[in-house]
Amino acid sequence: MALRNFKPWQVYLGVGLALIPLFYMFSSGGDGQYAVLIVIDCATPLAVLYGIRLHRPQLRLPWYLFAAAFVCSVVGNVFSVVQENTPEPSWSDGWFLAAYPLAAASLLLLMLSASGRHKPAALADAGIVTFAFAVFQWTFVMSPAIRAAGGTGEEVVDALYPAMDILLLAGLAGFFVSPAWRTPSFRLVGAGIATLFAGDEAVGLGPNSYSIGSWIDSLFLLAYVLLAVAALHPSMADLSHPRSLPTLRVSLWRVTVLAAALLVAPATLVEQKLRGKPLDLYEVLSLAAAISLLVVGRFTGILRALERIRLRERRARAAAEEMQLRLTEQNERLLEADRLKDEFVALISHDLRTPLTSIIGYVELALDETVGPALDGERRSYLGIVSRSSERLLRLVDDLLFVARLQAGRLVLEPTDLDLAEIARQAVSEAQPRAESKGLELSYLGDGPLPVRADRGRIFQLLDNLVSNALKFTPEGGDIQLRTHQSADGIVLDVSDSGIGLAPGEADRVFERFFRSTRVVDSQIPGTGLGLFIAKAIAEAHGGRISVASREGGGTTFRIELPAPLGSGARIPESRLVV
Amino acid sequence: MSQALVLVADDDDDILLLVTTRLRRDGFDVVSARDGDAALAVAREQRPDVAVLDIGMPGLDGLEVLARIRADDELRTMRVVLLTAKAQESDVRRGYAAGADLYVRKPFSPAELSQRVRELLDGGKS
């Protein structure tokens, strides 16, 4: 069904607007017009009640007051139909006029809850607008009416309607302080009251007294429809509880409204004087005094708020500057710490190498039979242990230095075009004595040349790390193979052993810094857990990668894949490295 | 033929003794110095065939002594071996760029160092 696609407020707006032309199709003052009037009148409080049920606003009292105001209006209309042609003031006028304070109270309550912590400002704005408008209403509408009619009669009653509009306006004005005025529901209320007000003013200022069927009725009908739609719109629930906290802004238009309010009293007096009318001096002046006090209060509030904002801003800026200062200090400290770390690493490296030079050198001298009398076997073996331990210590120093440099982002490669097969052969031949002393078969399989662009020292370090690892973790009688071959993408290098292998789940972690396999720790094989971390770093620095395949007890294979050299770049002369 | 004269300069007494002992055992005449200025003075005075200079010394460091040797017309052809505890490749390059014949990183094998010195001298004669 098509009607289902529309929301209640849309349906109500459509039907309500359609009824207004219908009103004028009936004969002026006829039953048809009264019927339309009653229908719209009765529908309005019902719509408000339905809106409350539908949207469940937290604050319901204002909306019930709103509905009550319309009920009064319905009763007033009923009386005006029943008591046709009675002299005014009639019962009907009494009911109509009762509706205004109810509606005004409803608006005031909504406004106060919507303005949040700006309640005083909202009240002051409402007061200023109300008093200013009262000056206008009094001098142009009410005072002449009362004088003309001598205090009673139809004109006075008609003049009461615009007076009541002042009340509504008071309720409405306060909303402009809060963000509630941006909600559609409030705009509908505003439009409805403005329309109602226009109708009342037309009646009050008009030359003839009001009778049903005039053009002015369209304003009243439209006002009722708009007000009912305001209560049906979903945003009605936000009206008393705006989602965002109200922010205070001194907009140009607000200042203009305040200035205009201040000018109403003098302008009115000037107008009366110019036209030679009697001056309403006391009324206008007392209202003007009230307005002035309110405006002064309002401006004081605005200035104070501005001062508070400025103070807060100054504090925030001071805090930000302080923070900035602290950050700079911290940054300097970090840089200093970084520099100290580098110095420390360099120092450690240097200062450990110097005593190691003595240890290694003097052990060598002590073992040299050409230098002094030969040592017995036991002493030779002791010195052999010193020698091996110093080699291990040296290796550890080198590894730590390498990792420190790596983490500082200072691993600099010095690539040259070289033959990987030759380096592999060299790594195997250098490890051969160690393999033999442990009873291991160490061999190289592969034929060169395998051209690659790489840092010779680092690649050797990488291969040596892997071969040394294999030697360490392979029990006597096992064998270790280093194989190389050319692949489609570059060069593949495998180092496999028949050693203890890795426990399940350890394969992913062997390249972590300081990682040591539980098997290795259990069998007390010495090491730092840096070798494979370094191997991975070197492989990756060359644009390659390293991977491992292992079976517990069934040996381990490390595979390195290096990319093929990209053409022959600038050749860096090979360093003449010795020792 | 007279024995080749080798100048050894290092601020660490133990290493100085280690190197001089080894070289003497291997048949070299050795003079030693404990800092850069002394090393340069000895070099000018005694004209050794080979200078083994530690880089990290108080006063003139090994690289500065090397630079002065290379700048001196009479000493220019002297063989120079640099010793260092620094391990960076860039240090090695700087050493060669400064005109070293050989660059040896600590720790080293004294026997191998002695062997290299011998090779340098032989190479120079051939």
| CA separation for the pair A133, A111 (Å, rounded) | 19
pLDDT digits (tens, 9 = 90+) for A490-511: 889 999 988 888 887 787 788 8
Smallest Cα–Cα separation from B101: which of B84, B81, B116?
B81
Is the minimum CB–CB distance between A390 and chain B shorter than 8 Å?
yes
What does the pLDDT look like over A66-82, one tens digit per residue? 899 889 888 887 887 77
Q: Which helix (H) or strand (E) is A404 found in, with range?
A: helix A377-407
Inside any domain, residue B12: yes
Mean pLDDT of chain B: 88
Answer for the pair A440, A482: CB distance below 8 angstroms, yes or no: no
Q: What is the pLDDT of residue A572?
A: 34
Backbone angles phi, psi at B27, to 5 degrees: 95, 15
Q: Give, in order, the Cα–Cα distances in Å from A68 to each of A42, A185, A224, B96.
A: 11, 19, 13, 103
Cα four-point dihedral sign A266, A271, A277, A283: negative
The verdict on a CB contact (< 8 Å) between A362 and B116 is no
For position A420, which CATH number holds? 3.30.565.10
* Residues of chain B contacting A410 with CB distance shorter than 8 Å: none
ipTM of the complex: 0.87
Q: How far apart are CA A261 and CA B63, in angstroms?
A: 91
Of the pLDDT bands very low, low, confident and very high (cuts 50, 70, 90), residue A513 is confident
- Diameter of chain B by CA atoms? 40
A471, A434 in Cβ contact below 8 A? yes
Q: What is the CATH number of the domain that holds B79?
A: 3.40.50.2300
| Greatest Cα-to-Cα distance within chain A, rounded to the nearest angstrom | 148
Residue A514 domain flag = yes
pLDDT (mean) for A200-218: 73
Q: How far away is chain B from the Cα of A528, in angstroms, using its nearest Cα?
A: 20
Measured between beta carbons, which residues in chain A are less than 8 angstroms from residue B21?
365, 371
Task: Output A564 or B14, whichever has higher pLDDT.
Answer: B14
Between A249-253, A431-435, A553-557, B115-119, the lowest mean confidence (pLDDT) is in A249-253
Query: Which residue(s) pair with B82 in the sheet?
Result: B53, B103
Distance between CA atoms of residues B2 and A278, nearest Å: 141
Give the per-residue SS3 of B58-113.
CCCCHHHHHHHHHHCCCCCCCEEEEEECCCCHHHHHHHHHCCCCEEEECCCCHHHH
Alpha-carbon distance values, A550 to A485, A505, A506 (Å):
20, 10, 9
Per-residue pLDDT tens digits for B72-97: 888 888 999 999 887 566 677 777 88
With bands split at pLDDT 50, 70 and 90, how would you rate the model's confidence at B18? Answer: very high
Give the lowest-confidence range in A46-50, A382-386, A551-555: A551-555
pLDDT confidence band for A571 (50 / 70 / 90): very low
The partner residue sitting opposite A357, judged by closest CB among B107, B112, B116, is: B107
pLDDT at A257 over 90: no
Residue that is last in its domain, among A204, A229, A247: A247
Using one digit for the tens of pLDDT, what is the confidence trace for A90-117? Answer: 777 888 888 888 888 888 888 777 766 6
Answer whether A578 sits within 8 Å of B116, measured CB to CB: yes
Does B96 contact A390 at a Cβ distance shorter than 8 Å? no
Is the pLDDT higher at A248 or at A359? A359
Does any domain span residue B21? yes
B122 falls within a domain: no
Total domains, chain B: 1
Confirm whether B107 is domain-assigned. Answer: yes
- For A326-350, how does the pLDDT look when each residue is reduced to its tens digit (9 = 90+)? 999 999 999 888 778 777 777 777 7
d(Cα A415, Cα A406) in Å, to the nearest integer?
17
Arithmetic mean of pLDDT, A14-42: 84
Kindly state the helix (H) or strand (E) to which residue A16 belongs, with its residue range: helix A8-25
CA distances from A7 to A14, A54, A530, B50 (A): 11, 11, 71, 103
HSE-up of residue A104 (Cα within 13 Å, Cβ side): 18
Taking the Cβ of residue A574 and every Cβ of chain B, the question of whether any pair is shorter than 8 Å is answered with no
Is residue B42 over pLDDT 90? Answer: yes
Q: Is A405 a domain residue?
A: no
In a domain, A243, yes or no: yes
Of chain A, the percentage scoring pLDDT greater than 90 comes to 10
CB of B7 within 8 A of CB of B49? no
Within a domain: residue B126?
no
Domain boundary among A197, A224, A247: A247
Question: The domain containing residue A16 runs over which residues?
Answer: 2-122+153-247
Q: What is the mean pLDDT of chain A?
A: 80
CB B72: neighbour CB atoms within 10 A?
13
Q: Calculate mean pLDDT across residues A534-539.
A: 89
Give how many domains chain A has, as a whole number: 2
- Whether B50 maps to a domain, the answer reads yes
Between A411 and A308, the more confident residue is A308
Query: Does residue A314 sit within a domain?
Result: no
Chain B residues close to A371, C-beta within 8 Å: 21, 25
φ, ψ of residue A481 in degrees (nearest 5):
-125, 140
Cα separation, A35 vs A77, whole angstroms: 10
Q: Quick check: is B31 in a domain?
A: yes
Domain extent for B86: 5-117
Question: Tokens representing A162?
Answer: 């615009």
Q: What pLDDT score does A242 carry?
A: 56
Q: Which residues of B touch A351 (CB under 8 A)?
A: 85
| pLDDT (0 to 100) of residue A241 | 65
pLDDT of amino acid B96: 82
Q: How confident is the model at residue A275 (pLDDT cuts 50, 70, 90)?
A: confident
**Cα dihedral A295→A297→A298→A299 (10° resolution):** 90
Which residue out of A351, A354, A459 would a mutagenesis test of the B interface target, given it has the greatest number of B Cβ atoms within 10 Å?
Answer: A354
Residue in chain B closest to A372 (alpha carbons) equals B25
Task: Work out the number of other CB atoms within 10 angstroms of the CB of residue A181.
Answer: 18
What would the pLDDT profile of B44-81 be if each residue is shown by its tens digit?
A: 999 999 999 998 888 888 889 999 999 988 888 899 99
The CATH number covering residue A217 comes to 1.20.1070
Distance CA(A257)–CA(B2), nearest Å, equals 115
Query: Is residue A478 a part of any domain in this protein?
Result: yes
Q: What share of chain A is helix, strand, coil (3-state, %, to 5)?
A: 70, 10, 25
Classify residue A402: in a domain, yes or no: no
Residues of B with CB under 8 A from a CB of A: 12, 14-15, 18-19, 21-22, 25, 56, 85-87, 89-90, 92-93, 96, 102-113, 116
Determine how β-strand B102-105 pairs with β-strand B5-9: unpaired
Whether B25 sits inside 8 A of A350 (CB atoms) is no
Higher pLDDT, A385 or A145: A385
**Distance separating alpha carbons of residues A237 and A229, to the nearest angstrom:** 13
C-alpha distance from residue A149 to each of A122, A142, A283, A505, B55 (Å): 37, 11, 19, 104, 120
Contact indicator for A557, A500 with CB cutoff of 8 Å: no
Residue at A287 is within a domain: no
Residue A319 has what pLDDT? 95
Residue A228 burial (C-beta neighbours within 10 Å; 0-12, 13-18, 19+): buried
Write out the two tokens for A566: 């990209």
Rounded to whole angstroms, the Cα distance separating A398 from B85 reads 11
pLDDT bucket at B22, cuts 50 / 70 / 90: very high
Verify whether the Cβ–Cβ distance B109 to A390 is below 8 Å: no
In a domain, residue A41? The reply is yes
Work out the pLDDT band at A566, boundaries 50, 70, 90.
Answer: low
Instruction: Find out whether A544 and A535 touch, Cβ atoms under 8 Å.
Output: no
Q: Is the pTM of this model over 0.80?
A: no
Amino acid symbol at A179: P
* Confidence bin at A41 (pLDDT 50/70/90): confident
Q: What is the DSSP code (8-state) at residue A495?
A: E
User: Cβ–Cβ of B103/A356 closer than 8 Å?
Assistant: no
Total length of chain A: 579
B87·A356 Cβ contact <8 A: no
CB A191 within 8 A of CB A215: no
Of all residues in chain A, the percent with pLDDT exceeding 70 is: 85
Measured between CA atoms, how close is A391 to chain B, in angstroms?
10
Q: What whole-number distance in Å separates Cα of residue B1 and Cα of residue A427?
A: 41
Check CB contact of A577 with chain B, cutoff 8 Å: yes
